[in-house]
Structures are given as C-alpha cells and as structure tokens.
A and B are shown apart, each in its own frame.
Chain A
Amino acid sequence: MRTGAGAGASEPVVKDDAAFAVRPRQRRRRPGKRAGQYVGVPFVLPSLVILMVVVIIPIVMSLYFSMTQYSVLGSPTWVGTDNYTKLLNDDAFAAALGNTVVYTLISVPLQTVIALLLADVLARRFRNRFGAIVRSTLFIPVMSSLVVVGVVWRTILGTNDGAVNVFLEAFGLERVNFLGDPTLAIWVVGLVTVWKNIGYFLVIYYAGMMDVPAELYEASGLDGAGRFGQLWHVTIPSLRPVTLLVVILGTIWSFQVFDLVYVMTGGGPGGATTTIVMMIFRAGFQNFQMGYASAMAAVLFALILIIAVVQRKVLKSNED
C-alpha cells in the first residue's frame, strides 16, 4: 500500500490498491468458466442438432460423394478429383452454366427493378384498400407451386393451342414459337420467373419503404425533387440493405432453378434451357451418376457463395 507523498491523492490510491488486490483473483477466473455459462446450451442444442442433420452433414456427405463414383444403388468408390476434372472438360456443363447465368441476368435485374417500382407506387400512392388488394393479388403466384405455374404458362404460351398464339392468329398475326425457339425460350422462362417472384420482392420492398422517414420526402420535395428524383435520391439509397437482400436472394434462387424449366421446356429445345440443377437431376436420378452430380452441386454451391459474397461486398461498398 502506498503512503506518504501525494497525500491529496490518497483516496484514489487506496481505491487503486483495493482494485489491485482483487484483480489477480479475477484474472484466474477465465471468462469461459463462469458459473452458469452453459445454461443456454439446452435451448440451442435442438437447433444445433437439426442444423447438423439437415445442413452440415448433407453438405459434408455431398462433398465426399463428389470425390467418388457412386451410383446410389452400390457403394461409392473413391476417385479423388476425377469428377471435377471431368467437369472442367464437360461442354454440356459449360453450356448449362451459361444458360443459368443468362437466366439469372434476365430474371434478377427485372424482378428487382419492377418490384421496387411497384412497391414505390403502392407505398406512396396507394396505401389504401386498393393497394392491399394489388399486393395480395401479386402475392398469389408466390404461393403457387412452381409446377402449377409451369403448366399454366406452358398452356398459355403453347405453340399451337396457346392462348397468346390463338389471340395473335385472331388478329392475323404470325404465331410465335415461345418455347420452341432456343433464343426465346430462355427469355420466356426468365420472365415467368419474374412474374412468379415479383410479389415476394414487392412485399419486402414495401415493408422497407414503410421505414423510410416521411420527412426525407418532404425535404426533398421542398428542394424541388419530383417523383423520379425522390425515388432516385431518397427511396433507393434508403433501401440499399433491402436491395442487397433482394438481389442476393434472387440470384441464389435463379442459380437453383429447376421445377419451372423441367415443366415448361424439359431443358429444351436442344438444351437451350438446360440449367445446372437440371443437369444435376439428370446425372443423379436418371444416369445414376450421383458422384458426378455431387461434384456439380459442389461447384454450384461454391459459385453461389462467391456471387453472394461479391454482391454483398459491391452493394455494401456502394452504401459506404
């Protein structure tokens, strides 16, 4: 204990000393060993177990299978990186990857922009019963099964009997081969996806717009900003986190597209709409090449991860 000089500061010194005397004991108790620290474990354990069983273990098993030749009916045989080497030289996989990217580039920007514009109109013009009806109506496709959506649109866009072509012919126009033209087919599938997803992203944007302070619009209005100016300078900057979510979710979904393509075109015509997941399905369930299918799934997983991280970085840096 210090005494003598600096008597005027004696009180703090005493406190310091007291604290000093206690510290060693506190240091000996490591934070991880505090009493009651495991109280929460039973509460999170069920979730952890479920997460392990339905997410972590399947991913690890899939990565293992990607290193094997595996027909599902027999035992897997270790082949190392052979499946990945084969993938690198597989023109069909490259084509499917290209189709998936094109499909994503069609669907994601469109559904993001349209959802944003619609949400803006509904949030600022129609916060009434009409707006609610429109939101609910646009949400119906979201709730519908992708298979049903595919069948319905296939019927509407049918080459010979489709409602659109019947309509066109009634006006003396040439019918359009929506699903039989390789260039058009990928656009059609992409646009149907936009139609299906728009209600979901609209609701997300609409919820985000509810949090934008009205004062910002009032202030920008006083500064002379019109509707488009307010959208550009107030709404879009305020909703960057929402846009981040919409773009990343949309991209992940687009890279995973299967049902809609399977029902509408079966990957055709001539492979023009064959996506990565469709290739995975064919390899695994039709060709009994589950090892190769797992390798494609692993590459898809890595691609989605990279794209999501890059998108997040880019959009976050814009925000900063």
Chain B
Amino acid sequence: MNMKYRTIAAVTCVGALTALAACTTDGAAADKALEVWMPTTFAAATADEEAATWRSILAPFEEEHGVEVNVTLVPWASYEEKYLTGVSSGQGPDVGYMYTEMMGDYVSNGALAPFDDHLSEETTSKMLYLDQGKVDGSQYAMPFVVGGIRLLWGNMDLLASAGIDEVPTTWDEFLDDARTLHEAGITPLYQEWGAPNRGMLNATYFPLLWQAGGEILNEEGTATAFNSDAGLAAAEFLKTLLDEDLMPADVSGLTPEEVQSAFYEGETAFFFGSDGTWADLEQTEMNVEFVPGLVGKQAGTFVASDALVMFESCADKQLCADLVAFLLGGDQMAEFHQQIVAYPPVATDEQSEPTKFTETYAESAESLHSLPIAAGGAGVYNALYENLQQMVLGQKSPQQALADAAEAGDAALAQAR
C-alpha cells in the first residue's frame, strides 16, 4: 500500500472511530439522564432552596443507578403551557408533577405511561391514596402531594361578640350563625368570586356540591353530573348567602388574597381556606378555629391530590418508575415535607411529627375529594366558574347557570374524547 492509500485509510479509520465514540458517548449520556419537572416553590421555600433540596434528595438514587437526574422547576403561572409545548415538541420530562385537572388529556392522548407493570407490591402496598391516581383501572398517577384540605375557618372573637361559641358544622347551623352575625353588624362570609382562575371553586362550590351528595362528572368522566338536585342545592345555598346579604355583593371582585387579608383583619367572621393558611394565621395570633367543611346531606371537602406521572417518552420505563418509587419512599418524603412543603404523609413508611391537621386528615379521610381525572376537564371547570360568576352577579338563576355550564362542559368532554 503506497503512502497515499495508507493516509486515506488512517484518516478514514480515525474518522469512523471518532464518530463511533461520539455516538457511544451521546447514547450513553442520553440513557443515563432523566428529566424531572416539578413546580417551583410549593410553599415558603425559595426556588434555590428547593433546587438544592431536590439535589440532596436525589443524590442516593443517582449514585445507586448511575444516572443523572435533572430537576427543572416550572413556575405555576405557566405550568400548563410549559408542559403542553414541552411534551408535544419532544422536549418534555421523563417524570413530572401534575395536578388532576391536567392529567386526563395527557392520558387520553397516550402521552402518559401507566405504572402497573413497573411498581412492586412493596411500593404500592404502603401508598395511602393510590385510588386517586387511577384512570380506567390503570395506575397513571402516583399521588405525591395530598394536602391543601379546604376548611371553614372562623374568627372566634367575632363569633363570641355575636354570642356564638363554636364554628358551625352543618349548612343549617352555618346559615343560622351567619344571620346572627349579620344582625350583629358583622360580615359573616367573604368569598373570592373575582379570582382570575377557576381554582377558587375548590373552596367555594365543589365542597358544597359534595356535601349535597353530588359529583362533578359521571363515573366514566364522559359527562358532567353537577346539573343535578345536589348541584342546584349547592348553588342555591350560595345564592341564599348573597340574597340575604350574608356575603357582600361585591364578592364578585374579591381575590383570594383580599379574602384572606379581610379575615386576618377581622372584617369577616368566616372564610373557606386551606390548611396552608395556618402558616400565616399562626403569625397573627388571632383566635381561630376550623372545621373540615360543612355537613349538608353528608360531609365532604376538597383536597389536592397532585401526583407524579411517567411519560411515554421515557426510554427506560422501569428506571422512571424506580425513580418515582424512590421519591415516594419514606425518607425522601420526610425530607420533602420538612424542607419544601409541610403536607401529610402519602405512604405509611414516612416517619413524621404530627401537625395541627394530622388528626383532621385521618378523621376526614372518607370525605376528602380531589377533582376527577378526565380528558376535557379544564373546559368543564372554566365553564362552571364563568356561569357561577354570572349567577353571583345576578345575571343567571342557579338553574340557568348550571344548565349552561353543563352544556358547555359536556361539549368540552365530548370534544376531548
């Protein structure tokens, strides 16, 4: 072989080896990295603190599996858009955090993978809220943050000044107390009907619906179910509060921040808020008590059931499922609850100190509801919020508001199927 051919052969070999090495390196790197998307700052921690906590929590998993786990913190404000654009463009996560309203459309479009074949009996047997993550019998979501229970908070000093010594527990008691407060010149209740997003229904309407024995959707998640006697009773309860001035007419402009602030400042005797409010209330040294919602036909209130999901795009499903099982492990969840958000355990293996609400969660377990997972669910909630706002404004009767919301909601559900 002359010099010219030897040079060409050498260059070709070097080129081929370089290309092979490059492919191998890239491939290995891709196989050994997992993308996880989480919302930023659940509670009081800053994003930097939160990122550091995730690195600390995930370090043992990375070491054990020889994998790099990248956590991206997504702001709440653009959560749904970020997921939709990321997942649809192939730049989404392998494992992500989702709330129930989001999941249905991802499940129906085949973007999420079920956990059923990837989690051990040991992992699933200790989970407390597995049923909340099932869709059509498959485990598409692993409840990760179960908390934010909606409670009725009462300002005991204001109640006492009207001769009331405890927070009411039933619809009738609440109406009686509210009338008594009104006669005493005290505003009984503020609600955030001017909130820019539909999430306020979790405190204002859905608990009443469940308490009246109703449901938001049918069991299959294919049609709305709130346009019922129970739904009407819940809407009429709200209308009564407005008609009798037990709630000011300008609640249509109030935001959640304004409502909380009004309660802190003693402008209203009651408000429906979450257990997360306690962190602020504790600072005010107010004399407050709470009950886990009211009892109508039955007890019932909202609890968030946000979950970890695994995407179809995850190349190694078992590895992704192992990561989820690891995150849900007792030690990891204990650190998560201690460092990031103080919500109750989601599994039996977490050693945690009892909080002010531990007993409430335990006693109310049967009556806690989260929103159903259904494709097109967001359209239902948007329609319901808009129509109930119109009822609050006096533009529609409760019957008309529910009928119009059901029509729009059913159309959204049908479109999504």
Contacts and interface: CB of A to CB of B under 8 A. Distances in A.
Interface of A: 71-74, 92, 154, 158-161, 175, 177-182, 262-271, 274, 282, 285-289, 292
A268 B258 contact: no
Contacts of B254: 159-160, 180
A181 B252 contact: yes
A73 B386 contact: no
B389 A288 contact: no
A158 B254 CA distance: 7
Given A175-B250, A178-B253, A181-B252, A285 B84 contact: yes
B196 A268 contact: yes
A266 B195 CA distance: 8
A174 B412 CA distance: 41
Contact of B81 (A178, A265, A285): A285
Given A180-B252, A286-B379, 7 more contacts: A72-B84, A92-B408, A180-B194, A269-B252, A270-B252, A270-B389, A270-B395
A270 to B, nearest CB: 4
A71 B109 contact: yes
Chain B interface size, as a band, is 35 or more
Contacts, number: 117
List of 9 A-B pairs having minimum Cβ-Cβ separation, nearest first: A180-B253, A266-B196, A159-B253, A180-B252, A73-B109, A270-B390, A270-B389, A177-B250, A286-B378
16 contacts: A71-B109, A73-B111, A74-B110, A154-B255, A159-B250, A159-B254, A160-B190, A177-B249, A177-B253, A267-B196, A268-B386, A269-B389, A271-B389, A285-B81, A286-B80, A287-B415
Contacts of B387: 270
B251 A180 contact: yes
B389 A268 contact: yes
B378 A287 contact: yes
Contacts of A287: 376, 378-379, 382, 412, 415-416
Contacts of B84: 72-73, 285, 288
A269 B261 contact: no
B382 A282 contact: yes
Interface of A is mostly: loop
B193 interface: yes
Interface of B is mostly: helix
B386 A270 contact: yes
Interface string B377-416: 0110010011101101101000000000000100010011
A36 B87 CA distance: 48
Contacts of A267: 196, 386
B262 interface: yes
A264 B196 contact: yes
B105 interface: yes
Contacts of B267: 160
Residue of B190, B412, B415 most packed against chain A (CB within 10 A): B415
A179 to B, nearest CB: 5
Contacts of B250: 159-160, 175, 177, 180
B378 A266 contact: no
Given A268-B386, A270-B395, A271-B386, A161 B253 contact: no
B88 A72 contact: yes
B106 interface: yes
Contacts of A181: 252-253
Contacts of B395: 182, 270
Residue of A158, A175, A180 most packed against chain B (CB within 10 A): A180
A285 B408 contact: no
Residue of A71, A262, A274 most packed against chain B (CB within 10 A): A71
B197 interface: yes
B166 to A, nearest CB: 27
Interface string B177-217: 00000000000001001111100000000000000000000
Contacts of A282: 378-379, 382
A271 B80 CA distance: 21
Contacts of A262: 196
B261 to A, nearest CB: 6
A274 B33 CA distance: 42
B43 to A, nearest CB: 21
Contacts of B412: 287
Interface string B256-299: 01110110000100000000000000000000000000000000
